[in-house]
Amino acid sequence: MRVGSKRWWRAFAADERGSIGIEYALLGTLIALVMITGLVLLSGSLQELWDRVVRCLLRPAACDNP
């Protein structure tokens, strides 16, 4: 390994410019993954809820009135 490349890697590792942008990108990715996971897990119950809403709008007599 050349001496110049070692120096470049050390300078690259010590350079903190842009780290905040990378942190925000990682945080945004994590939030998006949590949202997508939540939607996937709730999709079945949400579908049932909207099916019931449509059924009640089309035939109000068929609705269960609490």
The total domain count for the chain is 1
| Mean pLDDT, residues 13-20 taken together | 82
pLDDT digits over 20-45, tens only? Answer: 888 999 999 999 999 999 989 988 88
Beta carbons within 10 angstroms of residue 7's beta carbon: 10
Phi and psi at residue 63, to the nearest 5°: -80, 150
**Position 41 in a domain:** yes
pTM of the model: 0.53
Q: Is residue 30 part of a domain?
A: yes
- Output the CA–CA distances (angstroms, integers) from residue 58 to 2, 27, 48, 50, 64, in the order listed: 76, 43, 15, 12, 13
Residue 14 falls within a domain, yes or no? no
Asked if the structure places residue 11 within a domain, the reply is: no
**In a domain? residue 47:** yes
Instruction: Return all residues near 56 (Cβ < 8 A) that are at least 6 apart.
Output: 62, 63
Q: Which tops the pLDDT comparison, 26 or 6?
A: 26
Q: Could you list the residue range(s) of the whole structural domain that residue 48 is in?
A: 19-58
Within a domain: 64: no
In a domain, 9, yes or no: no
